[in-house]
Amino acid sequence: MFRLHLIPYGTKFDIVGKSKYMLTFAAIVIVVCLSFVTFKGLNYGIDFKGGYIFEVKMPYEPNVQELREQLGSIGLGEVAIQQFGAKEDLLIKLEKSEEGQAIAIQKIKDSLGSGVTYKRVETVGSKVGSELVSNAIKAVAFALVAMLLYIAVRFEFQFGICAIAALLHDCAIIFGMFSIFPLEFSETSITAALLTASYSINDTVVIFDRIRENLRRFRKMELKDLINLSLNETLSRTTLTAATTLLAVLSLYIFGGKVIASFALPIMVGILVGTFSSIFVASPLLMFLNIKRENFDKNKNKIANIV
């Protein structure tokens, strides 16, 4: 049976030997990204800055892309449109206008034309946006803490520290991307960041699991050689998983339209960054921590006794 291997089995790349260069590069990238986020800030979307929300029912099934261009041409800033429920039901989000609420709402109604049923028209203030920022930070922080506890319980606390360091690297680059480039940061961006973290931690756990197995098998092997062996044994799986996932997300980016593309782009970057951090950040960092091999021997004996 044919099996696809992007990287053949039995490779002996000295990944840990290059760890100082890779970790230095990762640290520089983190500093640059956090500097942009701190001093330049993020290009917040309507969800964060506040604006107007219209829940409408169109008299016909609209072409969302054409409608977005139509509403975007009336000079009220960026307009976000999404379908929900029936195909005629739309949720329209509009930035706050300097012309005032009444004028902006009237322009939207004039552009949509007659026969439209307005189920809801609301104004979202900046207070809601600040609360959303706070909740987003809390969501990411809680997710990182939960992952740290999970890794610490499943492996050792040192493994958890390395995994969180890799996740912080991934999240810093994702947020830095939204700051450096003219990309809108919205609710979907938070979802993309959390998806990146979940993908990266899954990849890291697979590698950590192989390192744990080898710690039990090769008790006298140098830690550097053991981590290198584990990375090379999982390298084919890591790259193949990343490549297939990347192809799926790339198809969404190309064929999914503007809204889906803005969601798929950070996920694509996250897959690349998460793969890099799993191989060159999380695992090599174990070299600088005091891993007690006897703990794994004890776990092995416990498992043997249970079986």
The answer to whether residue 7 sits within a structural domain is: no
- pLDDT by 10-residue block (mean), the chain, 307 residues: 61 85 91 90 74 80 78 72 76 71 76 79 65 74 81 82 88 89 79 82 88 85 88 88 90 81 86 91 84 60 36
The answer to whether residue 244 sits within a structural domain is: yes
Domain boundary among 108, 124, 140: 124
Cα distance between residue 281 and residue 15, in whole Å: 10
Q: Which domain CATH number covers 248?
A: 1.20.1640.10
Domain boundary among 124, 150, 181: 124
Question: Are 209 and 267 part of one and the same domain?
Answer: yes
Q: How many domains does the chain have?
A: 2
Cα distance between residue 176 and residue 41, in whole Å: 9
Question: Are 25 and 173 part of one and the same domain?
Answer: yes
The answer to whether residue 11 sits within a structural domain is: no
Cβ 158 vs Cβ 290: under 8 Å: yes
Q: Map residue 15 onto helix, strand or coil.
A: coil
Q: Quick one: pLDDT at residue 307? A: 30
Question: Are 100 and 233 part of one and the same domain?
Answer: no
State the helix-helix crossing angle for 64-72 and 257-277, rounded to 10 degrees: 100
Question: Are 144 and 27 part of one and the same domain?
Answer: yes
The answer to whether residue 114 sits within a structural domain is: yes
Cα distance between residue 298 and residue 294, in whole Å: 6
Domain boundary among 73, 92, 124: 124
Cα distance between residue 282 and residue 285, in whole Å: 5
Tokens of residue 123, six digits: 């104004």
Question: Are 193 and 72 part of one and the same domain?
Answer: no
The answer to whether residue 75 sits within a structural domain is: yes
Cα distance between residue 37 and residue 147, in whole Å: 24
Q: How many CA atoms lie within 13 A of 46 on its CB side?
A: 20
Residue 68, domain extent: 51-124
The answer to whether residue 25 sits within a structural domain is: yes
Q: Quick one: pLDDT at residue 302? A: 40
Question: Are 146 and 114 part of one and the same domain?
Answer: no
State the helix-helix crossing angle for 157-180 and 187-217, rounded to 10 degrees: 150
Question: Are 207 and 296 part of one and the same domain?
Answer: yes
Question: Are 201 and 156 part of one and the same domain?
Answer: yes
Q: Quick one: pLDDT at residue 127? A: 55
Question: Are 213 and 172 part of one and the same domain?
Answer: yes
Question: Are 73 and 162 part of one and the same domain?
Answer: no
State the helix-helix crossing angle for 126-154 and 187-217, rounded to 10 degrees: 10
Question: Are 148 and 286 part of one and the same domain?
Answer: yes
The answer to whether residue 78 sits within a structural domain is: yes
Q: Quick one: pLDDT at residue 250? A: 92
The answer to whether residue 222 sits within a structural domain is: yes
Question: Are 137 and 81 part of one and the same domain?
Answer: no
Residue 56 β-bridge partners:
90, 118
Q: Which domain CATH number covers 59?
A: 3.30.70.3400
Report the predicted TM-score, pTM, of the whole model to 2 decimal places.
Answer: 0.75
Other CB atoms within 10 Å distance of the CB of residue 301: 11
Q: Collect all residues with Cβ–Cβ distance below 8 Å to 104 and sequence separation of at least 6.
A: 52, 76, 94, 96, 97
